Amino acid sequence: MLPDHQLLRIPGPSPIPPSVQRAMSQQMIGHRGQETKDLLQRIKPKLMPIFGTEQEVMIIAGSGTAGLETAVVNAVNPDDEVLVIVTGSFGERFAKLCSEYRIQTHRLDIEWGKSVSPESVERYLRQHPSIKAVFSTYCETSTGVLNPIEELAQVVHHNSNALFIVDGVSCVGGVESKMDEWGVDILITGSQKAMMLPAGLTFVAASNRAWKVIAANKRPRFYLDLKKYQITLAKDSTPFTPALSLLFGLEQVLKLMEEEGLEQVYARHQLMKNMTRAAFQAHGIPLLTSDTSASPTVTAIKPADFPAEELRRIIKKEFGLSIAGGQQHLEGEIFRIGHMGYCSPADVLQIIGIIEIGLQKIGKAIDLGKGIRAAQKVYIG
């Protein structure tokens, strides 16, 4: 293996397009000058279609978790009751955030690897009419599950006055998001996954309903105060020092998405998901999620007769291919492949080919090329 040859296929951070790398290498400009105002003016309208909203998308220098915390401290009053739908590790993170702020937190725990059913949320809301906010992940990164956000939003609004708050960190930009049409009140994502940037930016959009709650919320907050970002973004600025290099890269990312077309971006992610799943199904290797619950941005595999960590070790050693392991109780039990952002069907074929060799190296008897053929058939249609 070449020392500098690394293939990054974990579910974030994801590879960065060369043109985005070049954009980020530009010279610094004054962050309060006209050039930065012009940059933000160009960026703002191009972010909105990715979220599926006519609301402005707030841009905050911070990780995706900063975006989750922003939602909690802005949209939830200290004495509110909330429901957190936990379908994996990042649902757990929302629950921990709420608990840390001494919010009365109800949990709806779903078996890891399964998506939440709208009916279970409906039952819970009817039993707990005081709930003021419902939190869910869109794609649960730890399991590769895509939750039915459109249906969940309908259930929340038909059965309560609660805000519906969604962590879209590992899928917004790679899957269709219709925030306004579906009735999502706050949608969050991060820069380092389907948005094809390094970590360091989080994006938050809020509905009119959410802005009313935010404006009335007495909870103290400073850096993560969304009202500050709303006021300054209207003036093409930020309340605190922006991450300029990432903004340079973001403008190029948005240009690439616009050139490809959002529908084509989403179709590409769906195709990569189907190719990846078909390859493992052809080898009889179990997948963690069902076809109907699977995310287009990450696939989780749960092998029954070979060690997941040994496969990860051998393909990293021999080919420089990094795939992710499991989290919490799934550590050592699963491996996860990220196919999001700057990733194509050609990359999927490469990944499957390498994994087939890795499987043979660790003693798993397979028919070499069978997974690749299955993926090729999906591609050809």
Give the annotated binding-site residues for substrate: 336
**Tokens at residue 30, please?**
């004054």
The Cα–Cα gap between 326 and 312 comes to: 11
Known binding residues are: 336
If you ran DSSP here, which 8-state letter would residue 175 be given?
B
Q: Name the helix (H) or strand (E) containing 84.
A: strand 81-86
CB distance 205 to 186 below 8 Å: yes
Phi, psi of 100 (to 5 degrees): -60, -30
3-state secondary structure of 110: coil
Q: 86, 92 in Cβ contact below 8 A?
A: yes
Classify strands 298-301 and 131-137 as parallel, antiparallel or unpaired: unpaired
Helix extents (H) in 188-307: 208-216, 226-233, 244-260, 262-282
Q: Are 153 and 135 in contact (CB under 8 A)?
A: no
Q: Distance between CA 338 and CA 78 in Å, rounded?
A: 37
Cβ–Cβ under 8 Å, residues 153 and 96: no
Task: Yes or no: say if 216 and 79 are a contact pair by the CB < 8 Å rule.
Answer: no
* Secondary structure of residue 7 in the 3-state scheme: strand
Residue corresponding to tokens 């963690």: 288
Q: Which amino acid would we find at residue 136?
A: S
